[in-house]
Amino acid sequence: MADLSRIGVSIDSELLHRFDSFIADKGYDNRSEAFRDLIRDRLVGSAVIPSNALVVGTVTLIYDHHTRLLPEKLTDLQHENHAIVISTLHAHLDHESCLEVVVLRGKSRDVQKLADRLISTKGVQHGRLVMSSPETVSHHPPPHR
């Protein structure tokens, strides 16, 4: 790891106790790695990503496929934006509920916009975008060229 900096953080004991339980649950060996992952996660998940940065993202949707025209609307939106939709996974959870995961790649603003439209489509019960920018966060060493 290049340019490692050490920082001291003041934290109240109760919060630290909860943090330790959390990282034990997640299987971290030490606080440092857990702390770094939380920071990365927060930076990637916030508005730190420039709107024209190239990102990959997944949109997870849960909806009732009996809702009138909902499956068609979600499919239409994806066709309209086929240039940034890489793949879609659909799982029929039970008689009513569907889980759909849409994998997107493109400029941050386009990915965010399509995710917002999918998630806000009437009848979608739960939706969440997870976005990652290979340009701004390097989690792993760059690939060989």
Residues that bind Ni ion (CB under 5 A): 65, 92, 98
Nearest CB to Ni ion, comparing residues 59 and 98: 98
Angle of helix 108-120 relative to helix 70-80, nearest 10 degrees, comes to: 170
Cα end-to-end span (Å), the chain: 20
Burial 35-53, CB ≥16 within 10 A → b, else e? eeeeeeeeebeeeebeeeb
Residue 85 Cβ vs Ni ion, minimum distance, rounded to whole Å: 18
Closest contact distance (angstroms) between CB of 64 and Ni ion is: 9
Phi, psi of 20 (to 5 degrees): -65, -40
Is the Cβ of residue 56 or residue 103 nearer to Ni ion in the bound state?
103
Closer CB to Ni ion, 92 or 122, in the complex? 92
Minimum distance between the CB of residue 93 and Ni ion, rounded to whole angstroms?
7
Closest to Ni ion by CB, 26 or 92: 92
Place of tokens 């934006």: 81
Q: Round the CA-based radius of gyration of the chain to a whole number and report it.
A: 19
Rounded to a whole number of angstroms, the minimum distance from the CB of residue 127 to Ni ion is: 15
